[in-house]
A and B are shown apart, each in its own frame.
Chain A
Amino acid sequence: MKAHLMYLDRDFNLQRVLPSNEQALMQDLELDILFNSMACGDEFLYRVAKHAVLSGLQDDLETILYRQDVLKDCLMNHAVAKSIYDIAVESIESKKGSWFGIFSHCPTSILYDAINLLQMLIGMLKKLKLIADEHSDGFESKGFSTFFMMLKTELTDEYFASIEHHLTELKFEEGVLVSAELGIGNEGANYVLRKSLTKKPGWIQRMFEQGPPAYTFHIHERDEAGAQALSELRDRGINQVANRLAQSTDHIMSFFVMLRTELAFHIGCVNLHDRLFQKGERASFPVPAPPGAHYHSCLGLYDVCLALSIEQPVVVNSLAADGKNLVIITGANQGGKSSFLRSIGLAQLMMQCGMFVAAESFSANICQGIFTHYKREEDTAMQSGKLDEELCRMNDIIDTLIPNSMLLFNESFAATNEREGSEIARQIVRFLLETPVKVFFVTHLYEFAHGLFEQKIENALFLRAERQADGRRTFKLLEGEPLQTSYGLDLYQEIFGK
């Protein structure tokens, strides 16, 4: 039995390796804010959210669509999804109190614990089955339909009855019947628990009385060593079945763990959706395109992390960059460039893990990697100088760069004079243009930006942070030629007064 609420045909693996630039992505795209909003204070939800979002880059188009559908169902049936999640959580929590399997080295007690735990888990499975019977009609996605269908076919009343029958049998009221062979040194070996096909009460005893020759001996009450040896022999007999039963509880437990993990992602998304809805921000399901082709267009795109951190409404932007693989963003300081760049990265990550995005509409091709190269304020590596540090990070990116990636540069290579910085940027971007990657570059390096503009490259797009005639900023980005100044004076004047 599988939950399969993340992938059509496999489990969601929390152990999967995250991109090597996980740290940089977290920092540059402010992902912490996003994950916290999804988690609502729940550590587990945070962990799953982080993992799902960052590992989404490795998934394909079909998976994105599959997950979108499951998520849509969850948004439609919020309460039911939550109650399934709660059952999974309760099942897992209930094991934590028992000592089961951790300290026990005795098959008898392993078996005893396993039977008790199973009885509890069976109760949980029955609850799950009930939900399936009552609510499955309200769900449309392939993921949930399959899930409910599975519960209905696998967990029949007959099945529950047969489990309960076995759990009674395993109390061995008639004694333990074991077969054995002669192993090394004629010692008993290959102990296997047996059950006769006859089922009437007292069958074993009768069979021994009427059947072929049998020899019975008794251990004297006061023979402690004998009693010890006898119970060890009994333990050898039930060792295997205790193992099997304990493993079965683990398997059922793993089912609940997987169910909880996979639903946790969707619950996190629902949480985020609620937050945005409360704030009056829009969210929509994006249209992913296969990797390779350059698609990137959107309406009403905003920086979800900014929206989650401030009270007032945030600025939205549109982009029509289909067929482009280089977007150069220039313009005024504090003009919304960084926020725009982050919204591009966030939307890409959210789309690829199957989430909705913070936009009115959004469509883009899948990227197999997202890399950020941001100017770092703090200089952690004092000995190496700023430009050196920047180039070192650039070197790391180039080391791990894969085709169909997206690179987000924010004020890169500004740690030296403009000419040198421009030349470095120019050479790097020139190289990147010849590879199958998509580049968004926020820059003040006029020589660099203008030089590219002059080249009239067909698949390059130039955006500029808008400034109105009176010097006020709208935080909107419009298509436009890079300009020489970046309105730092404006800002100075605004802050210090005219």
Chain B
Amino acid sequence: MNFHSILFEQPSDMKRGAATEAPPFFHDLNLDQIVDAITADRQEYDLKPFFHTPLTDLAAITYRYQIMRDLENTLLFKNIKAFSQQMLTMRQHLIVAEKLSYKYQKEREFLYAVEIYGDAVKNLLQDMYREEPNSRGLLAFRAYLAEYVESSQFKTLLNEAEKLKSELSSIRYCLLIRDNSITVRNYDSEIDYSAVIEETFAKFKQGAVKYYSVQFPDFGMNQVEAQVLERVALLNSDVFNALDHYCTNYGSCIEKTITDFDREIQFYIAYLEYIETFKMAGLKFCYPRVSDTCKHVSNREGFDPALAHKLIDEKSAVVCNDFFLQGDERILVITGPNQGGKTTFARTFGQMHYLASLGCPVPGSEAQLFLFDHLFTHFEKEEDIKTLRGKLQDDLVRIHCILDQATPNSVIIINEIFSSTTLKDAAYLSRKVVGSISQLDSLCVCVTFLDELASLNEKTVSVVATIMPNNPTMRTYRIERRSADGLSYALAIAEKYRLTYERLKERIKL
């Protein structure tokens, strides 16, 4: 079993390379907020490219799911976090070593970094034996690690460091400071005079008193200390020669495979930590069944994590929604009152498919999703002065562009298309667009105020944002599968404000 990468089983899975730029639909689907939140505490690992790059192969997705499941073992999860923490500390010491000005200082820091590195690697291997992961990825990495730890290269690296460390820490020397001279020699069991003084006055001890020791600011080693250190090195030349030798030999001893693992495993850790806050709030995440052929997608108890994140902060309830497509159904047409959760529902559909394509668990208690080749979104945009096009024209240009690239394996999310034109135009254009998508057989979610789209053909399914029956201004944020009935909603609102015909007649006698 050859280990390649904890994110990509095969070199070919990386063929597209990691994208530094976010995909165009990121903002529309709130995925930018989600990824920002996931990666916020891990800037130094530069994880965003991984979240910007969906997988295109089912096996590659499974590879990650397996690893993700392994890491749901909290012990293993903690172990790997501890490993990362040690690696971080090691890097900090290497950086410090770079900055220091005196040779023996640099060398000691380097030695320390190596020691931490060795501990990190050995601990991780032990942990991985104890916690017994099942995923192909972690098993392959463990095998690699076992081989590395057993290698004579690694063993010598650590043994020599250990020896040097203990020799250095057993050095004890004396300074005689008199006027402007300093004499350095080895320590010769002179007594601790502070202890003698303390003993002399012990009988007066009365309980806690102020601490008068001065904290010396750490400005690093000054020239006098450096001169002292040079003399200490002369007094202990064997140890310091060995230290020189070690640093020359092992200057670049940190394995790239291990540093890569340390970075890439953060992808999983970051995601799992992110979804933990939702789980604590009672929301669910699941591993979806992903298919690249079957378009009968479904989800139970899904939600938009970006929105849920805000709601949990405000201690408000998060409303979950379900969806399913069966038979010939491909297009979910969402109608209903404004602010009723329509856009959120459309986003959830897109987010879910995208997250699944990254090999991440998705919101909901269960899900069957489709592995798309492209994901397109068409959301209302602020009018862009630079394009010098009218809004309707802009809408049409964008939708045309999408339809041009879309294939039967694409997912398309359309939010409030053609709202800037007349109802008649909008109805006509929408029918055309939705018709094209039907023909293409792509999966689609379409948010619209046009009820008639909901029953356009056998591929469309009507879902409606619902209201409280007895108080039409109260939204439930529940999206239900039923026929569009925008009119009764409008009447209910009018009733509430006593603006229906009957009410107006009662109110005003003119």
Contact = CB atoms under 8 A, between A and B. Distances in A.
Nearest to A257: B206
Contacts of B249: none
Interface in A204-262: 204, 207-208, 211-221, 225-227, 229-230, 232-237, 239-248, 250-252, 254-255, 258
B159 interface: no
B17 interface: no
Contacts of A218: 180-181
B109 A180 contact: no
A250 B209 contact: yes
A184 B184 contact: no
Interface in B153-185: 168-169, 171-185
Interface stretch (B196-204, B258-266, B456-464, B481-489): B196-204
A105 B220 CA distance: 19
A213 B200 CA distance: 34
Given A181-B171, A255-B206, A225 B223 contact: yes
Residue among B108, B193, B196 with the highest chain A CB neighbour number at 10 A: B193
Interface residues of A, number: 75
Nearest to A251: B204
B85 to A, nearest CB: 19
B211 A243 contact: yes
B100 interface: yes
A376 interface: no
Contact of B109 (A107, A185, A216, A255): A185
B191 A254 contact: no
A217 B192 contact: no
Contacts of A101: 210, 212
A235 to B, nearest CB: 7
B108 A215 contact: no
Contacts of A382: none
B181 A217 contact: yes
A248 B225 contact: no
B425 to A, nearest CB: 71
A232 B215 CA distance: 11
A229 B228 CA distance: 11
A192 B209 contact: no
Contact of A250 (B107, B188, B210, B222): B210
A180 B177 CA distance: 13
Interface of B: 96, 100, 104-105, 107-109, 112, 168-169, 171-188, 190-194, 196-198, 200-201, 203-207, 209-214, 216, 220-225, 227-229, 231-232, 234-235
26 contacts: A166-B200, A177-B190, A180-B173, A185-B108, A188-B225, A197-B190, A214-B185, A216-B182, A216-B183, A219-B181, A221-B180, A225-B222, A232-B224, A233-B177, A233-B182, A236-B216, A239-B214, A241-B193, A243-B212, A247-B211, A248-B201, A250-B210, A251-B206, A252-B204, A254-B204, A258-B206
Interface of A: 1-2, 11, 101, 105-107, 110, 154, 162-163, 166, 169-170, 174-182, 184-188, 192-197, 204, 207-208, 211-221, 225-227, 229-230, 232-237, 239-248, 250-252, 254-255, 258
Given A178-B176, A216-B183, 7 more contacts: A178-B174, A182-B232, A195-B193, A219-B182, A241-B194, A243-B212, A243-B213
